[in-house]
């Protein structure tokens, strides 16, 4: 079972909570127990799990990533978006979440975030569900 979510981003760097959309995919599938793999098929975007209660956490993550990966380095990649490629590799393209009784197993404060590092763009996020 492989599903594709379309994610419309609206800023150059942005974290978007996709937890409800992934949960909806799980519900529509009818799968009650297994794994959800959330994969981002892009080289300048990523996926991560972090706090979705206080939106300041999202902006703090972006603030520090933007500080750590300076746009001022002598990058050689001609497209000019090397900081976005580096952030994508650091954060990663894949998360795995358990499914129990038809629900994603996440901590109280956890959410799944699509991470845009070179937007705004129309993006995809793949969700693979595996029974077990």
Residues of this chain that interact with Zn ion (CB under 5 A) are: 79, 81
Nearest-approach distance from CB 12 to Zn ion, in angstroms: 14
Return the number of the residue (42 or 58) whose C-beta is nearest Zn ion: 42
Nearest-approach distance from CB 83 to Zn ion, in angstroms: 10
Closest CA to 91 of 50, 35, 55, 32: 50
DSSP 44-55: SEEEEEEE-S-T
Residue 39 bridge partners (DSSP) = 94, 126
Return the number of the residue (54 or 79) whose C-beta is nearest Zn ion: 79
Nearest-approach distance from CB 86 to Zn ion, in angstroms: 10
Return the number of the residue (114 or 117) whose C-beta is nearest Zn ion: 117
Question: How many other β-carbons are positioned within 10 Å of the β-carbon of residue 99?
Answer: 22
Return the number of the residue (73 or 79) whose C-beta is nearest Zn ion: 79
Q: From residue 39, how far is each of 42, 45, 60, 74, 116 by CA, in Å?
A: 9, 10, 23, 30, 13
Closest residue to Zn ion using C-beta atoms: 79
Nearest-approach distance from CB 57 to Zn ion, in angstroms: 27
């Amino acid at each position: 079972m492989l599903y594709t979510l379309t994610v419309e981003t609206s800023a150059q760097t942005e974290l978007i909570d996709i937890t409800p959309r992934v949960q909806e995919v799980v519900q529509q599938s009818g799968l009650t127990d297994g794994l959800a793999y959330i994969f981002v098929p892009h080289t300048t975007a990523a996926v991560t799990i972090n706090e979705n209660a206080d939106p300041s956490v999202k902006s703090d993550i972006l603030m520090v990533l933007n500080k750590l990966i300076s746009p001022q380095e002598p990058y050689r990649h001609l497209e000019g978006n090397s900081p976005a490629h580096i952030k994508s590799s650091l954060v990663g393209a894949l998360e795995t979440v358990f499914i129990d009784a038809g629900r994603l197993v996440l901590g109280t404060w956890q959410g799944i975030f699509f991470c845009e590092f070179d937007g705004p763009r129309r993006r995809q996020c793949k969700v693979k569900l595996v029974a077990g």
